[in-house]
Amino acid sequence: MAREKMQILICGGTSCSDKQSEALADNLKLELEANALENDIKVVRSGCFGLCNLGPVVKIVPGDVMYVKVTPDDAREIVSEHIMKGNKVERLLYKDPSGKTKSAEKELSVYKKQLRIVLRNCGIIDPENIEEAIAHDAYEALGKVLTEMKPLEVIKIIKDSGLRGRGGGGFPTGLKWEIAYKNKSDEKFVVCNADEGDPGAFMDRSVLEGDPHAILEAMAICGYSIEAHKGLIYIRAEYPLAVARLKTAISQAREYGLLGKDIMGTGFDFDIDIRYGAGAFVCGEETALIHSMEGMRGEPTVKPPFPAESGFMGKPTNVNNVETFACISPIILKGASWFSATGTEKSKGTKVFALAGKINNVGLIEVPMGTTLREVIFEIGGGIRKGKKFKAAQTGGPSGGCLTEKHLDTPIDFDNLTAAGSMMGSGGLIVMDEDDCMVSVAKFFLEFTVEESCGKCSPCRIGNKRLHELLEHITKGKGTLADLDRLKNMSYVIKDTSLCGLGQSSPNPVLSTLENFRDEYEAHVTVKKCPAGKCKDLMEYFIIAANCVGCTACARVCPVGAITGERKEPHFINPSICIKCGACMEKCKFDAIIIQ
């Protein structure tokens, strides 16, 4: 493949594509053609580099020089300086928080603590070119499995590796495969769950966009192991780029005889189709997902029977998440003990996290299980934005909880997160600072659950609605101390009596914020104040007389005429007229207006 002397890799992930990485690629190609270099240097749109807030990101190999925040207009300089003269374009290099420029990829602090197994090819290969994938060992594991191994041997390796489902539940993958293998049937199915519905999680999308062949290969390996010949990928319709790349990858794999009839001449048949979701969070639950694939409302059903016994069309079905599948080929090629050497006692391997929220380095990272939250947030994530104070990290999406300062040094794995009142979930990690009100955050998640509850069982349908109403009450300053106990009791009832994972985990954000930030809840209900100054109904704008110079700027901007005062005299806000729009505070140049 490396006929070219040099490659220019441009991040083709969603965040970067939105920021004109396509126009940048076109400009680079034009510049190369203008200098008759198009045969020597190849422009590749690769998968996500994981540096989403620095995009569009460009990497030049060999040399691994990274340029960040590149615009289409920078194409000329990159070609004329770097490519033709070999000089790095200083102004586009990454600068770490201390202002030091870092050019090579491995120098970046973001990458130092990372270990990339799932994301091994993201940002390295061209996802639309199967030959590049093959050059990076794609389909080698499938070949090994088909020619040298029996299904039970494959299952044993996966079991020995200690791989657990990355979709959230953490069920041992090998065991799941074994159950599906043991249920004899004329037809079985392998399903890839790519319905990434957690707000703030985008790792599955990045894998599908950056390395689609890894998923196809792993599904075929799974098919061989459980004796299935049909695979289905259930993907969100909201991910058009991932869908397009998957379609390309599937047709290329068929063309190369790596999917379809008689794969690699071994007599094994396996083919993959795509099914679309239509925006329902509950469809991440396996039984709901299967109903949705059958063209029905995505409502969950009671387990057992588990999908491994009776799943899609009543046939044994094995459902795994994208990230889980992405671990399979390396395990087959490098062995179970290689994989289990990384991680903690009960959680092996690595985990991908999507860092988002009030953190400096927003993006995708992959770290060994057992890395502490402190390392993730402060070393890899570069700390909290604008130098604010860390307050909480939310993991597990709407089903998870908040981790606080006291959890910073806990090694992150499945069991520790559960013990801390949160969960691994799919790996979204949203960081909050001192300005975030935890009651509002809990309310935000409940709002989500209320909207996404399928309505089938009453604890989830009615209970979550009641929880949300109580929280609404509290943020409006109408709550009482008794409401806090009510919140807690109701949460436990919902958890204990709901049908599926959605209801069983939806009160987690309430319980964990109540546990860790009870003083904040109490401030809302007793003194009717929001310590973070987020709850509109509980705030009061106030002018500090000593700071006010009487410039009248605030009085002029106030839309309701709530501010009075003479020129050059301290002004005053009438709280009964004030609508709390905040316009005065934005306008004030003297920091005289505060929220109480």
Partner 1 sequence: MSSIKIELRQEDVNKIKEICASFNNDPQELINVLHKCQEHFGYLPAEIQEVVSQELVIPVAKIYGVITFYSFFTMTPKGKHPISICMGTACYVRGAEKVLDEFKKELGLQVGQTTKDGKFSLSSLRCVGACGLAPVVMVGDKTYGRVAPDDVRNILKEYE
**Local structure of residue 232 (DSSP, 8 states):** E
Q: CA-based angle 523:574:558, to the nearest 5? A: 105
Q: Is 448 in the site for partner 1 (CB under 8 A)?
A: yes
Binding of partner 1 by 296 (CB under 8 A): yes
Which residue of 223, 428, 463, 503 would you call a contact of partner 1, by CB under 8 A? Answer: 428
Residue 294 touching partner 1 (CB under 8 A) = yes
Nearer to partner 1 (CB atom), residue 167 or residue 363? 363
The only residue of 75, 246, 327, 441 in contact with partner 1, by rule CB under 8 A: 441
Judged by beta carbon, residue 32 or residue 511, the one nearer partner 1 is 511
Q: How far is the CB of 577 from partner 1 (least distance, A)?
A: 19
Token couple for 15 = 């965040």
CA distance 374 to 358: 15
> Is 6 strand, coil or helix?
strand
Q: Which is nearer to partner 1, 357 or 421 (CB)?
A: 357
Among the listed ranges 49-57, 139-147, 471-479, 552-560, the one in contact with partner 1 (CB under 8 A) is: 49-57
End-to-end CA distance of the chain: 64
The H or E element that residue 66 is part of is strand 65-67
User: What's the Cα-to-Cα distance from 493 to each of 228, 346, 453, 483, rounded to whole Å?
Assistant: 40, 30, 16, 15
Rounded to the nearest whole angstrom, what is the least distance from the CB of residue 194 to partner 1 in the complex?
A: 12
Q: Name the minimum Å distance from CB 133 to partner 1.
A: 22
Q: Is 275 in the site for partner 1 (CB under 8 A)?
A: yes
Cα R_g (the chain), whole angstroms: 27
Among 173, 252, 292, 426, binds partner 1 (CB under 8 A): 292
Q: What CA–CA distances, in Å, run from 465 to 74, 480, 490?
A: 51, 19, 11
Among 215-223, 315-323, 427-435, 482-490, which window interacts with partner 1 (CB under 8 A)? 427-435
Stretch of 65-73, 105-113, 321-329, 440-448 contacting partner 1, by CB under 8 A: 440-448
CB nearer to partner 1: give 88 or 229: 229
Residue type, 414: F
Question: Should residue 430 be labelled a site residue for partner 1 when binding is judged by CB under 8 A?
Answer: yes
**In one letter, which amino acid is 500?**
C
Position 237 contacts partner 1 (CB under 8 A)? yes
Give the ranges where 81-135 is alpha helix by DSSP (H): 84-85, 109-112, 130-135
Q: In the complex, what is the shortest distance from the CB of residue 398 to partner 1, in angstroms, rounded to a whole number?
A: 8
Calculate the CA 545 to chain-centre distance.
46
55 contributes a contact to partner 1 by CB under 8 A: yes
Cβ-proximal residues to 32 (8 Å cutoff; 6+ apart), any chain = 38, 41, 43, 79, 83
Binders in 349-378 for partner 1, by CB under 8 A: 354, 356-358, 362-363
* Four-residue CA torsion sign, 112, 113, 119, 121: positive
Q: Which one of residues 22, 26, 53, 128 is an interface residue with partner 1 (CB under 8 A)?
A: 53
- The answer to whether residues 221 and 141 touch, using CB atoms and an 8 Å cutoff, is yes
Query: Distance between CA atoms of 363 and 49, rounded to whole angstroms?
Result: 8
Nearest distance, CB of residue 18 and partner 1, angstroms: 4
Per CB under 8 A, the segment of 117-125, 198-206, 473-481, 522-530 that binds partner 1 is 198-206
Helices 203-210 & 212-226, crossing angle to 10 degrees?
100
* Residues 385-404 contacting partner 1, CB under 8 A: 394, 397
Does residue 110 belong to the site contacting partner 1 (CB under 8 A)?
A: no
Contact code string over 487-526 relative to partner 1, x by CB under 8 A: ----------------------------------------
Sequence-distant (6+) residues with CB within 8 A of 315 are: 185, 187, 188, 189
We find the least distance from the C-beta atom of residue 153 to partner 1, in angstroms, to be: 35
Whole-angstrom CA distances from 384 to 107, 157, 365 are: 21, 41, 16
Q: What is the DSSP letter of 546?
A: T
Residue of 95, 112, 261, 297 interacting with partner 1 (CB under 8 A): 297
Binding site for partner 1 (CB under 8 A): 14-15, 18-19, 52-53, 55, 196-202, 205, 237-239, 275-281, 292-298, 354, 356-358, 362-363, 394, 397, 428, 430, 432, 436, 441, 444-445, 448, 454
